Amino acid sequence: MDLKDALETSKAQQKKVEDHCVEREQKLAKIEATLEDKVNTCDLLTVENTTLRAEMVKALEAKDQELVAALAAKDQELASQAEQFKKVEQELVQEAATGFIDGFVEALVQAACANPGIDVSECSPFSEVVEGKTVPLTAPEN
């Protein structure tokens, strides 16, 4: 009877091991199916990411071109304004110089009127008095 009992025990253990193997195979199949789903999802996300990245790069390049064009337009506008400012500055300097000369001439006329007989012919807005004589202005050294 010991052999029969041992055989029955061995068959029971073998059945238990077989059941355990079947259970493990089923779990492995579920895990493999889950893994395959996750790999497929990952592949889809990779494709989607690549597509989105390409779209973003394209959009950024378009925005970059738009900003470069806007910057060029602003540069051109600033250059035009600088040119206009320079022209207005030259006109204002010319007006100031003309006003100064006109004022100087008017002052000479008034001086000659107030002091008949004085000679103002050597007087000029571009002259200065050095050692009692009227001489042309010299440019500053610095």
Distance (Å, whole) CA 89 – CA 95: 10
> Which pair of tokens denotes residue 118?
């004085």
Residue 1 confidence (pLDDT): 65
Spatial distance between the Cα atoms of 3 and 17, rounded to a whole number of angstroms: 20
| H or E stretch at 83 | helix 2-114
Residues 6+ apart with CB under 8 A from 137: 126, 127, 128
Question: Lowest-confidence range among 22-26, 53-57, 84-88, 125-129?
Answer: 125-129
Which pLDDT tens digit goes with each residue over 1-51?
688 888 888 888 999 999 999 999 999 999 999 999 999 999 999 999 999
Q: Is the pTM here over 0.75, yes or no?
A: no
